[in-house]
Amino acid sequence: MFVLIAGLVLFFGPHAVRMLAPNFREAQVAANEGRWKGLYSLISLVGFGLLVWGYILYRPGAPQLYAPPGWAHGVTFVLVWLGLISLPAAYQPAGRIKATLQHPFLVGVILWSLGHLISNGDAAGVLVFGAFLVYSVRNLIAQLRREQPKPAFAGYRGDIVSIAAGTVLYAALLFWLHGWLFGVNPLA
Protein backbone atom coordinates (compact mmCIF):
# COMPACT_ATOMS: atom_id res chain seq x y z
CA MET A 1 0.00 0.00 0.00
CA PHE A 2 2.98 2.29 0.60
CA VAL A 3 3.85 2.31 -3.13
CA LEU A 4 0.26 3.29 -4.01
CA ILE A 5 0.16 6.12 -1.46
CA ALA A 6 3.58 7.38 -2.58
CA GLY A 7 2.37 7.34 -6.18
CA LEU A 8 -0.78 9.28 -5.31
CA VAL A 9 1.22 11.91 -3.40
CA LEU A 10 3.86 12.30 -6.13
CA PHE A 11 1.28 12.41 -8.92
CA PHE A 12 -1.24 14.76 -7.33
CA GLY A 13 1.29 16.93 -5.47
CA PRO A 14 2.55 18.83 -8.51
CA HIS A 15 -0.96 18.94 -9.97
CA ALA A 16 -2.35 20.54 -6.82
CA VAL A 17 0.23 23.35 -6.63
CA ARG A 18 -1.76 25.62 -8.94
CA MET A 19 -4.84 25.28 -6.72
CA LEU A 20 -3.12 25.33 -3.33
CA ALA A 21 -0.14 27.63 -3.89
CA PRO A 22 -0.69 29.66 -7.08
CA ASN A 23 1.83 32.36 -6.12
CA PHE A 24 4.55 29.76 -5.57
CA ARG A 25 3.80 28.22 -8.97
CA GLU A 26 3.87 31.60 -10.71
CA ALA A 27 7.19 32.45 -9.06
CA GLN A 28 8.70 29.14 -10.23
CA VAL A 29 7.42 29.65 -13.77
CA ALA A 30 8.74 33.21 -13.83
CA ALA A 31 12.15 32.13 -12.50
CA ASN A 32 12.63 29.30 -14.99
CA GLU A 33 9.63 27.91 -16.85
CA GLY A 34 11.57 25.06 -18.45
CA ARG A 35 12.90 23.85 -15.10
CA TRP A 36 9.42 24.05 -13.55
CA LYS A 37 7.80 22.11 -16.37
CA GLY A 38 10.60 19.55 -16.35
CA LEU A 39 10.37 18.91 -12.60
CA TYR A 40 6.57 18.94 -12.73
CA SER A 41 6.56 16.38 -15.54
CA LEU A 42 9.25 14.16 -14.01
CA ILE A 43 7.63 14.02 -10.56
CA SER A 44 4.18 13.45 -12.08
CA LEU A 45 5.46 10.68 -14.35
CA VAL A 46 7.26 8.91 -11.50
CA GLY A 47 4.13 9.33 -9.37
CA PHE A 48 1.90 7.90 -12.08
CA GLY A 49 4.20 4.91 -12.52
CA LEU A 50 4.20 4.27 -8.77
CA LEU A 51 0.43 4.76 -8.64
CA VAL A 52 -0.18 2.13 -11.32
CA TRP A 53 2.40 -0.26 -9.84
CA GLY A 54 1.05 0.27 -6.33
CA TYR A 55 -2.50 -0.35 -7.50
CA ILE A 56 -1.47 -3.60 -9.18
CA LEU A 57 0.38 -4.71 -6.02
CA TYR A 58 -2.31 -3.70 -3.51
CA ARG A 59 -5.49 -4.64 -5.38
CA PRO A 60 -5.36 -8.46 -5.01
CA GLY A 61 -5.25 -8.26 -1.21
CA ALA A 62 -7.20 -5.03 -0.72
CA PRO A 63 -10.22 -5.33 1.57
CA GLN A 64 -13.65 -4.99 0.02
CA LEU A 65 -15.24 -1.79 1.38
CA TYR A 66 -18.60 -2.12 -0.37
CA ALA A 67 -20.34 -4.37 -2.86
CA PRO A 68 -20.93 -2.57 -6.15
CA PRO A 69 -24.62 -2.53 -7.13
CA GLY A 70 -25.76 -4.82 -9.93
CA TRP A 71 -26.30 -1.93 -12.33
CA ALA A 72 -22.79 -0.50 -11.80
CA HIS A 73 -21.08 -2.52 -14.53
CA GLY A 74 -23.35 -1.22 -17.30
CA VAL A 75 -23.23 2.37 -16.05
CA THR A 76 -19.43 2.18 -15.87
CA PHE A 77 -19.27 1.26 -19.57
CA VAL A 78 -21.27 4.38 -20.48
CA LEU A 79 -19.46 6.77 -18.10
CA VAL A 80 -16.00 5.61 -19.20
CA TRP A 81 -16.92 5.86 -22.89
CA LEU A 82 -18.26 9.41 -22.42
CA GLY A 83 -15.19 10.28 -20.35
CA LEU A 84 -12.82 9.02 -23.05
CA ILE A 85 -14.69 11.07 -25.66
CA SER A 86 -14.33 14.16 -23.46
CA LEU A 87 -10.54 13.84 -23.03
CA PRO A 88 -9.47 14.59 -26.63
CA ALA A 89 -12.06 17.38 -26.87
CA ALA A 90 -9.76 19.46 -24.67
CA TYR A 91 -7.16 19.52 -27.46
CA GLN A 92 -9.49 20.10 -30.42
CA PRO A 93 -11.06 23.23 -31.87
CA ALA A 94 -14.16 24.00 -29.83
CA GLY A 95 -17.06 21.88 -30.97
CA ARG A 96 -20.25 21.43 -28.99
CA ILE A 97 -18.48 19.15 -26.50
CA LYS A 98 -15.77 21.66 -25.60
CA ALA A 99 -18.07 24.67 -25.74
CA THR A 100 -20.58 22.97 -23.44
CA LEU A 101 -18.19 21.35 -20.95
CA GLN A 102 -15.66 24.24 -20.94
CA HIS A 103 -13.06 21.92 -19.36
CA PRO A 104 -13.65 18.61 -21.13
CA PHE A 105 -10.46 16.96 -19.86
CA LEU A 106 -11.48 17.41 -16.23
CA VAL A 107 -15.06 16.35 -16.98
CA GLY A 108 -13.68 13.28 -18.75
CA VAL A 109 -11.57 12.32 -15.72
CA ILE A 110 -14.59 12.86 -13.47
CA LEU A 111 -16.72 10.53 -15.61
CA TRP A 112 -13.93 7.94 -15.86
CA SER A 113 -13.20 7.94 -12.13
CA LEU A 114 -16.87 7.98 -11.11
CA GLY A 115 -17.56 5.02 -13.39
CA HIS A 116 -14.68 3.05 -11.92
CA LEU A 117 -15.53 4.06 -8.36
CA ILE A 118 -19.08 2.72 -8.53
CA SER A 119 -17.95 -0.62 -9.93
CA ASN A 120 -14.86 -1.16 -7.73
CA GLY A 121 -15.59 -1.50 -4.05
CA ASP A 122 -12.13 -2.57 -2.93
CA ALA A 123 -9.86 -0.24 -0.95
CA ALA A 124 -7.33 0.05 -3.81
CA GLY A 125 -10.02 1.19 -6.24
CA VAL A 126 -11.54 3.59 -3.75
CA LEU A 127 -8.12 5.17 -3.11
CA VAL A 128 -7.17 5.54 -6.77
CA PHE A 129 -10.49 6.43 -8.36
CA GLY A 130 -11.62 8.45 -5.34
CA ALA A 131 -8.43 10.53 -5.49
CA PHE A 132 -8.90 11.22 -9.19
CA LEU A 133 -12.55 12.13 -8.62
CA VAL A 134 -11.89 14.48 -5.69
CA TYR A 135 -8.95 16.15 -7.45
CA SER A 136 -10.84 16.62 -10.71
CA VAL A 137 -13.99 18.00 -9.08
CA ARG A 138 -11.90 20.40 -6.97
CA ASN A 139 -9.88 21.48 -9.99
CA LEU A 140 -13.01 21.94 -12.12
CA ILE A 141 -14.52 24.19 -9.46
CA ALA A 142 -11.27 26.20 -9.30
CA GLN A 143 -11.19 26.51 -13.11
CA LEU A 144 -14.81 27.63 -13.31
CA ARG A 145 -14.19 30.29 -10.63
CA ARG A 146 -11.41 31.85 -12.68
CA GLU A 147 -12.68 34.45 -15.05
CA GLN A 148 -11.85 32.91 -18.41
CA PRO A 149 -13.64 33.26 -21.71
CA LYS A 150 -15.76 30.22 -22.53
CA PRO A 151 -14.65 28.32 -25.62
CA ALA A 152 -16.65 29.57 -28.60
CA PHE A 153 -18.14 26.99 -30.96
CA ALA A 154 -15.89 26.71 -34.01
CA GLY A 155 -17.56 23.84 -35.88
CA TYR A 156 -18.12 20.13 -35.56
CA ARG A 157 -14.62 18.98 -36.53
CA GLY A 158 -13.48 18.86 -32.89
CA ASP A 159 -16.55 16.82 -31.92
CA ILE A 160 -16.04 14.33 -34.74
CA VAL A 161 -12.35 13.84 -33.87
CA SER A 162 -13.16 13.53 -30.14
CA ILE A 163 -15.93 10.99 -30.67
CA ALA A 164 -13.79 8.95 -33.06
CA ALA A 165 -10.62 9.07 -30.94
CA GLY A 166 -12.48 8.43 -27.68
CA THR A 167 -14.39 5.50 -29.16
CA VAL A 168 -11.24 3.92 -30.64
CA LEU A 169 -9.42 4.28 -27.30
CA TYR A 170 -12.47 2.89 -25.49
CA ALA A 171 -12.61 -0.15 -27.78
CA ALA A 172 -8.85 -0.74 -27.43
CA LEU A 173 -9.12 -0.60 -23.64
CA LEU A 174 -12.25 -2.71 -23.51
CA PHE A 175 -11.08 -5.51 -25.78
CA TRP A 176 -7.35 -5.58 -25.14
CA LEU A 177 -5.43 -2.88 -23.24
CA HIS A 178 -7.31 -2.93 -19.93
CA GLY A 179 -6.66 -6.62 -19.38
CA TRP A 180 -3.08 -6.39 -20.59
CA LEU A 181 -2.19 -3.26 -18.57
CA PHE A 182 -4.18 -3.85 -15.39
CA GLY A 183 -4.91 -7.58 -15.38
CA VAL A 184 -8.66 -6.98 -15.28
CA ASN A 185 -10.92 -7.85 -18.21
CA PRO A 186 -13.87 -5.43 -18.10
CA LEU A 187 -15.92 -7.82 -20.24
CA ALA A 188 -15.55 -10.74 -17.79
Tens digits of per-residue pLDDT, 133-166? Answer: 999 999 999 899 887 888 999 999 999 999 999 9
Largest Cα–Cα distance in the chain?
53
Over residues 3-45, the pLDDT tens digits come to 999 999 999 999 999 888 889 999 999 999 999 999 999 999 9
Other CB atoms within 10 A of residue 146 CB: 6
* Half-sphere exposure of residue 28: CA atoms within 13 angstroms, side-chain side: 15
Mention every residue, 6+ apart, whose C-beta is less than 8 A from residue 66: 121
Per-residue pLDDT, averaged over 98-119, amounts to 97
